Amino acid sequence: MTKLELLAALKTMTVAEQLEVLEVTSKIIREGLNIKTDLEIAAEKMQTYYSKGSDLAAFTDENMDDFYEYSEYA
């Protein structure tokens, strides 16, 4: 499909259909450009804080047994 055919097809679509095409197109472009969203960037920055052995992970219970089965707890 040529650019002119695509633009002509867009004119025949409803606004909802045009928005759907726009969303899919922008996703394809972002993937092609390898542009990360703010959430992806934030998650990558925080990953080291929550990885095993970090200060924040030190307070997590890695024992997956149910708490009510513990016989010795504070």
CA dihedral of residues 51, 52, 53, 56 (deg, nearest 10): 50
> Does 73 reside within a domain?
no
- Is 12 within a domain? yes
Domain membership flag for residue 21:
yes
**Does a structural domain hold residue 64?**
no
- Amino acid letter, residue 44: E
> Residues 16-42: pLDDT tens digits?
999 999 999 998 888 888 778 888 899
With CA atoms as reference, report the closest residue to 54 among 64, 63, 62: 62
Q: What does the alpha-carbon distance between residue 18 and residue 11 come to, in Å, rounded to a whole number?
A: 8
Confidence of residue 50 (pLDDT cuts 50, 70, 90): confident
Instruction: Check residue 58 and give its pLDDT.
Output: 64
Total domains, the chain:
1
Using only the alpha carbons of the chain, give its radius of gyration. 24
* Mean per-residue pLDDT over the chain, rounded: 82
For the question of whether the overall pTM of this predicted structure is more than 0.75, the answer is no
Segments forming the whole domain that contains residue 31: 3-58
